[in-house]
Amino acid sequence: MRKQNSIIRILVFVFAALIALLVIGGGIYLFAASRSLKTLELKPDFAETSLEVGTQYTFSIKTTPSSASIKKAECVVDDPTSSFEINSSGKAVLTTGMNEGNVTVYVECKGIKSQVLTYSIVDSVARAQAEAAAQAEAQKQAEEEAAAQAEEEAAAAVKKYVKSTGDDVNVRSTNSTDGDVLGKAKKGDMFEKVEDVEDWTHIIYKGQDGYMKTEFLTEISEEEYNEGPTEDTTANTEEEKEEKKIQTKEEADAKVKADTENANADAAAPDAAAPDATATTPAIDPDAVAAALAAAGGHSYGGHTFTQSEWNYLLSKWEYTGDAAEMITHHSAADLIQLLDFDNPPGVIRSN
């Protein structure tokens, strides 16, 4: 009986020991389980979304449970010029590199990975310098444009003037020979110049826009324009015109006289037995020719009077355009009389 009681005591002790071991082991397990890492979270200690080059930024590492150990945590960064590690205070420290771009970081421990954070890295100093340089360049360009505009406005404010060097030069409505002719510029006429348009000059002509060929214009000063044409210039122009008229009249008179003398000599040489023919054709008086030229359709010429029918026939004979002066300058009175005698044109009543 005593032996049996001893066995029972031993069994009870062993059972109690097993229970104690189970309780202690379970407690140890539960304690260890309560301290094991379940989640990781990176929380930046800064508010910036863009990070500066060559600068340190810290992150707090939050764990679940909070007592979980992160001694074996690994900090991961994808930028080889940047560094990311845990310091002695248990914070993750990111040191950015010197190049602009993007950087991605996260923390991993015992197979547990935190969220992935991505930031842009910028060089604000370089950007500020570039922006300042761009602003300076833009300001310089704006100042240059303003100066150029002011210069153009100043040039436009200064009026320019031109003077016609040709006579009877067309002034047109456009810078083209197809433009309407607004009028004709006389030599010495002055105009206000607007601008040059290719080989034309834009002028103000009688209060409206006009265009003249630049080759017929010369620039003049405002003083000369304000003074207007000088008396000497006007006098010279009138003198030149008068000289041309006198010269033209003298040349015409000389030609008529020479033609008449030649015709009289030719008429007298072959027929010496007929002196009356020469006698009936007196020498041409230049004054009479001038009078005939001045008379509109006059028929007295070289001391001979032609009838209207004779005159018309003579004009049509050489296909003149009805210009009596042109016929007279080419033929003497003797030529005309001989032609009428030789042709004896029908329907023409001879005056002699």
**pLDDT of 241 above 50:** yes
**pLDDT of 4 above 70:** yes
More confident residue, 152 or 1: 152
Query: Token pair 């015992």 is at which residue?
Result: 110
**DSSP letters of 90-104?**
S-EEEE--SS-EEEE
Q: Please give the CATH number for the structural domain made up of 39-122.
A: 2.60.40.3440
Confidence (pLDDT) at 253: 62
Name the E strands within the chain. Answer: 39-44, 50-52, 56-64, 74-77, 83-86, 92-95, 101-109, 112-113, 117-122, 160-164, 169-172, 181-185, 190-197, 200-205, 208-213, 217-220, 300-301, 304-305
pLDDT category at 33 given cuts 50, 70, 90 is: low
When pLDDT is averaged across residues 211-225 and rounded to a whole number, the result is 94
Confidence (pLDDT) at 311: 75
Confidence (pLDDT) at 16: 83
Q: Please give the CATH number for the structural domain made up of 160-229.
A: 2.30.30.40
Confidence (pLDDT) at 255: 61
**pLDDT of 80 above 90:** yes
How much of the chain exceeds pLDDT 90, in percent? 46
Confidence (pLDDT) at 297: 43
When pLDDT is averaged across residues 122-145 and rounded to a whole number, the result is 95
What pTM was computed for the model? Answer: 0.38
pLDDT category at 263 given cuts 50, 70, 90 is: low
**pLDDT of 202 above 50:** yes
d(CA 70, CA 205): 96
Let me know: does 290 contact 302? Beta carbons within 8 Å.
no
Tens digit of pLDDT for each residue in 143-173?
999 999 998 888 777 889 999 999 999 999 9
More confident residue, 167 or 244: 167
pLDDT category at 273 given cuts 50, 70, 90 is: very low
**pLDDT of 345 above 80:** no
